[in-house]
Amino acid sequence: MPPQDDPKTTHFGFQDIPWSDKARRVRGVFDSVAPKYDLMNDLMSGGLHRLWKQFTLSQTHLRPGQRALDVAGGTGDLARGMAGQVGSQGLVVLSDINGAMLERGRDRLIDAGLTQGIQYVQANAERLPFADASFDCVTIGFGLRNVTDKPAALAAMRRVLRPGGQLLVLEFSQPVAPGLKPLYDTYSFRVLPVLGRLIANDADSYRYLAESIRMHPDQETLLGMMRDAGLENCRYHNLSGGIVALHRGYRT
């Protein structure tokens, strides 16, 4: 039972837990997986995550000199791509609530030679510490499903967009291709935990990640949530048969 002063519950994978406890548990997962995060991404997706991110970057429509924010940006793949789009006169902010992931992202971008026009901010997606109308584009890749209060995060990301700015949400979703779902479920619940145990010495974290995907809103539900947050012209693109979807919306 949650404590009396915290009656709300939420999901952590397939578990119901006190609302106030989710951020701590998610932090523990990513503290554990950070050292092998990039290797596991390649193994789990067969390298497809790189194509999903490249498609996302192709949709930013960023121009040199503009400003972008990558929320829950982890090890910095989207931030790195956007840094190339805005150039040396622009700015990209890589933010993440998890210090271990943010540190890894910073190290990767420095190793790639990105030392100017990029900043690093440890921040909660639900309470972004940026002024209103600060960015031309905001991205969040594979991070929204780990956020406790998703409507608050969507509203915060809309708030920091400039008028005409775009939010891009890249996230695992629900397979729509015929016959894909049972194969995907088998892979997620049987293969991923084994990979997590063998490569990252952490089967439980990868079991949580598979469960969190199933608990995340489907394509149409997330579309409605974005509209409820005040975003306009919202739509989505299914990728890999709906295993992943890119949602997009604008602040007008």
The residue segments making up the domain with residue 131 are 25-176+209-250
Q: What is the reported pLDDT for 124? A: 95
d(CA 248, CA 252): 13
Q: What are phi and psi of 40, to 5 degrees?
A: -65, -35
In-domain check, residue 141? yes
Q: Does some domain include residue 107?
A: yes
Asked if residue 120 belongs to a domain, the reply is yes
Tokens for 221? Answer: 């539900």
In a domain, 148, yes or no: yes
* Residue among 121, 17, 138 nearest 66 (CA): 138
Q: Give percent of the chain with pLDDT exceeding 70.
A: 97
Residue 124 in any domain: the answer is yes
Q: Give me the DSSP letters along 60-123.
A: S---TT-EEEEET-TT-HHHHHHHHHH-TTSEEEEEES-HHHHHHHHHHHHHTT--SSEEEEE-
Whether the per-residue pLDDT at 3 is higher than 50: the answer is: no
Chain mean pLDDT for the chain = 91
User: Is residue 86's pLDDT more than 60?
Assistant: yes
β partners of residue 248: 168, 235
What pLDDT, on a 0 to 100 scale, did the predictor assign at position 2? 44
Residue 199 within any structural domain of the chain: no
Q: Residue 77: what pLDDT?
A: 95
Segment 110-134 shows an average pLDDT of 96
The residue that leads in pLDDT, 220 or 205, is 220
What pLDDT, in 10s, does the model give residues 148-190? 999 999 999 999 999 999 999 999 999 999 999 999 899 888 8
What is the number of domains present in the chain? 1
What confidence tens digit (pLDDT) does each residue in 40-50 have? 788 788 889 99
How large is the average pLDDT for residues 70-82?
95
pTM value?
0.90
Domain membership flag for residue 41: yes
Segment 210-227, tens digit of pLDDT: 888 888 999 999 999 999
CATH of the domain at 94: 3.40.50.150
**Within a domain: 240:** yes
- How much is the pLDDT for 7? 64
